[in-house]
Amino acid sequence: MNETTAPSPAPSTKSSAESPSFMPPGFNNIAPYILVNGAAQFIDFLKCAFEGIELLCVPRPDGSIMHAEVRIGDSLVELADANDQYPARTMFIHLYVADADASFARALRAGATSVQQVADMPWGDRQGAATDPFGNTWFVGMPKGWTPGLEGMRSIQPFLHLREAQNMIPFAESAFNAKALGVALSPEGKVLHATIKLGNATFEIDEADGETVPPPAYLHIYVPDTDACYARALSAGATSIDPPSVKPYGERSATIKDPFGNTWFVATCLGESRLGRDLSRADLRRRFLHQRLRFRQLLRVARGLLPLIVLQIMKHQPHRIQFENLLHRNRINA
């Protein structure tokens, strides 16, 4: 985070009961989706370092984690074990806590490595930075020299370090109806820091330093209309990964990749009436993920049997050719 610029106050800390109808209760508009190698250990880290509360965990038969949700403060982290389709990517997270020194110390005890010791920053925060054992960097801070507005700020704000970061602002405005709350530019026009509001939550951006750009992020967002958002995103320069469709766990969702390479899982909750009376959203999501896993297992088995089927066909191919030749000769002789 650039030391000369301050994060803009993020919007509200509303209760889960006040969540808009297009979001599941207790969710914000934005959640970082962190894919790691060793998701179970990552959950343990979030619990020990940041007092995270595990809300949902869907395991695979091999013990790896297909999907999990951990609440930290008023925000949510979604995570899973990386796979071939979605490889592991490190992320940057701005985490607001009640006591930056205590949270930072817990993170170090849980296995994080200090990048910057907790100190009073020029923009009014008391903040430190640490990298967790999985490579993610956490800016752990608390307001000290300024007072947040009545709505406060979200506990978690994803932080994107981008090349040509100024172009993210018009993209987010066009694709997500987002709004830039504060933009600090260098004399050359590069983004030193910007906070972008999307619904009831925010994410932050700045210009990536040096020649190496951090890997793109995975982000899960809730919007009032997935189809409209998907269309706007494509018009703004995104590419489609998965077009909108209704999922069995009660959401209409799509997946896009923005011009910077970040993957956005765009979703609209269809409401409790669409989820069924006897199953919660978590139950439905767990059931859907298990069904998808079984389908993939069957597909792998079928792919494994395909060479054997082809081999059997090839083994009997000469007999079929001999029969067809005999039939052809008999027709001619007739």
Q: List, for residues 167-198, the tens digit of each pLDDT value.
A: 999 999 999 999 998 899 999 999 999 999 99
Q: What local confidence, expressed as pLDDT, does residue 46 receive?
A: 98
Average pLDDT over residues 61-76: 93
Nearest C-alpha neighbor of 87 from the set 123, 37, 127, 125: 37
Q: State residue 286 phi and psi, 5-degree precision.
A: -65, -45
Q: How far apart are the first and last CA of the chain?
A: 89
Residue 251, pLDDT above cutoff 80: yes
Lowest-pLDDT range of 72-86, 146-160, 249-263: 146-160
Q: Rounded to an integer, what distance in angstroms lies between the CA atom of residue 237 and that of residue 3? A: 31
Confidence tier at 311 by pLDDT (50, 70, 90) = low
Helix (H, G, I), strand (E, B) or coil at 88: coil
The DSSP code for 165 is G
Mean pLDDT over 297-323 rounds to 60
Three-state DSSP class for residue 121: coil
Q: Would the pTM count as exceeding 0.85?
A: no
- Residue 66 clears pLDDT 90, i.e. is over it: yes
Q: Would the pLDDT of 59 be above 80?
A: yes
pLDDT one-digit tens code per residue, 252-298: 999 999 999 999 999 999 875 333 434 455 555 655 555 555 555 55
- The per-residue pLDDT for 283 is 58
Which range among 108-112, 167-171, 209-213 shows the weakest confidence by mean pLDDT?
209-213
What pLDDT score was predicted for residue 108?
Answer: 98
* Spatial separation of the C-alpha atoms in residues 30 and 297, rounded to whole Å: 31
Give the containing element (helix H, strand E) for 49.
helix 39-50
Per-residue pLDDT, 172: 98
Average pLDDT, the chain: 83
Judged against a pLDDT cut of 50, whether residue 52 lies above it is answered with yes
> Which is nearest to 5 in space by CA: 148, 127, 185?
185
Residue 57: the pLDDT is: 93
Residue with tokens 């939550």: 201
Distance in angstroms (rounded) separating the CA atoms of residues 218 and 241: 13
CATH 3.10.20.90 fits 16-275, yes or no: no
In total, the chain counts a number of residues equal to 334
Residue ranges covered by each domain of the chain: 16-275, 280-334
- Which residues in 211-278 belong to E strands, given as ranges? 218-222, 239-247, 251-257, 263-269
* Higher pLDDT among residues 223 and 315, named by residue: 223
pLDDT at 293: 57
Of 46 and 189, which is predicted with more confidence? Answer: 46
